[in-house]
Amino acid sequence: MFAYIVRRMLQSVIVLLVVGLVAFSMFRFVGDPIDNMLGQERTQADIDRLRAELGLDQPFPVQYYKFLKNAVQGNFGVSYRQGRPVSTIIAERAPATLELAFVSGFLAITMGIALGVFTAIRRQGIAANVIMTVSLIGVSLPTFLIGILLIYIFSVELDLLPSFGRGETVMIGNWSTGFLTTSGLKALILPAITLGLYQMTLIMRLVRSEMLEVLRADYVRFARARGLSDRVINFRHALKNTMVPVITITGLQLGSIIAFAIITETVFQWPGVGLLFINAIQFVDIPVMAAYLMLISVMFVSINLIVDLLYYAIDPRLRVDARAT
């Protein structure tokens, strides 16, 4: 068990280092930040001075090494665009993204499971078929289109919900929350639906197909033969057994909700880390891009690590194998 954990952790560290190296080798293809930082009146001397000051005259492995050296001390450098420490900026922006991810994840799981069960049990019903058809839209339309569509309907035409921003926020310590004000809650609705729609339809379809499978299983037939009520069969026996793959997928999707909030945040001008990253790419803000990419890969690697360890805990076969070797 211990050896397994150590091996997985070492693998994770290598993955992180490689992600960083690839990221740094790509940055010079994004463009030259110097041009964005100095006005059109700058001279060659200004350019050379700034390039040396930022260490951009060094080859990228050296830049990467310097970044790592500072990063392990918790220093992610200074944003080229905002002129403030990257760690401060990310800490400022993280609550917005996490709150959005939490709400859309919650929506996706609850609505996804409820609709999945419903469409599996009533698979011949009109409502179930309508839901299935509509869910295709959720899977197939790109996020930015859904976002713009929602803005068009609910902001422009119906004038019910705000089209951009977080509304009023309240500071609780260092955490700015939009949960405590009416405008903050209103502002959450459209982005949360946009971000969660894909995951919702995914979970719904997964639950439905798993459920259909399970409902055909022998033990369900026996349960019916025993005369158990539909409710007990559907929810106690069938649903429970469909949850294993759903939990796996949900865990992995949680990471992508946070990481891929970029598009939703851009469409709704949601002041989170995704929007920060888009700005950073346009401006070639290398410290922000590097910190963001490392943070996201740390997140994915940890989620995967936790999932692996959970399997180890859940699945007795893995443990037996480990003991045998």
Partner 1 sequence: MILKNLMIAASATALMAGAASAETLRWARAGDALTLDPHSQNEGPSHTIRHQMYEPLIIRDVTGAFEPALATEWGPKADDPNVWVFKLREGVKFHDGADFNAEDVVFSFERAKQPNSDMKELIGSITEVRAVDDYTVEIVTDGPNPILPSNLTNLFILDKGWAEANNTVNVQDFEGGEITFATTNANGTGPYVLQSREPDVKTVMVRNDNYWGIDQFPMEVTEIVYTPIQNAATRVAAMLSGEVNFLQDMPVQDIDRVNGADGLMVKQAPQNRVIFFGMNQGADDIEADNVDGKNPLADVRVRQAMSMAINRDAIKQVVMRGQSQPAGMIAPPFVNGWTEAMDGESATNLEKAKELMAEAGYADGFSLRLDCPNDRYINDEGICQAAVGMLGQIGVTVNLDAKPKAQHFPLITDGKTDFYMLGWGVPTYDSEYIFNFLVHGREDDIGTWNGTGYQDDALDTKIKSLASNTDLDARNADIADIWRVVQDEALYIPIHHQVLNWGMADGVGIDVDAEDQPKVKYFTIK
Contacting positions for partner 1 (CB under 8 A): 29-37, 39-45, 47, 50, 53-54, 77-85, 148, 151-152, 155-156, 159-166, 182-183, 185-186, 189, 266-269, 271, 275-276, 278-279, 282-284
* Cβ-proximal residues to 54 (8 Å cutoff; 6+ apart), any chain: 33, 34, 80
Distance CA 313, CA 1 (A): 10
Cα–Cα distance list, 258 to 11, 74, 248 (Å): 23, 22, 17
Which alpha helices (H) appear in 151-284, and where do they start and end?
Answer: 182-215, 218-225, 230-231, 239-259, 261-267, 273-283
Whole-number minimum distance, CB 276 to partner 1, in Å? 8
Whole-number minimum distance, CB 267 to partner 1, in Å? 6
Q: How do strand 175-177 and strand 170-172 relate by DSSP bridges?
A: antiparallel
Whole-number minimum distance, CB 87 to partner 1, in Å? 11
Cβ proximity to partner 1: between 8 and 49 the closer is 49
Whole-number minimum distance, CB 193 to partner 1, in Å? 11
Cβ proximity to partner 1: between 33 and 116 the closer is 33
Cβ proximity to partner 1: between 77 and 116 the closer is 77
Asked if 195 contacts 261 with a C-beta cutoff of 8 angstroms, the reply is yes
Whole-number minimum distance, CB 186 to partner 1, in Å? 5
Residue the block writes with tokens 């010079």: 28
Cβ proximity to partner 1: between 82 and 248 the closer is 82
- Look at phi and psi of residue 32 and say left if phi exceeds 0, alpha if psi is from -120 to 50, else beta: beta
Cβ proximity to partner 1: between 48 and 315 the closer is 48
Cβ proximity to partner 1: between 118 and 300 the closer is 118
Distance CA 4, CA 15 (A): 17
Whole-number minimum distance, CB 252 to partner 1, in Å? 28
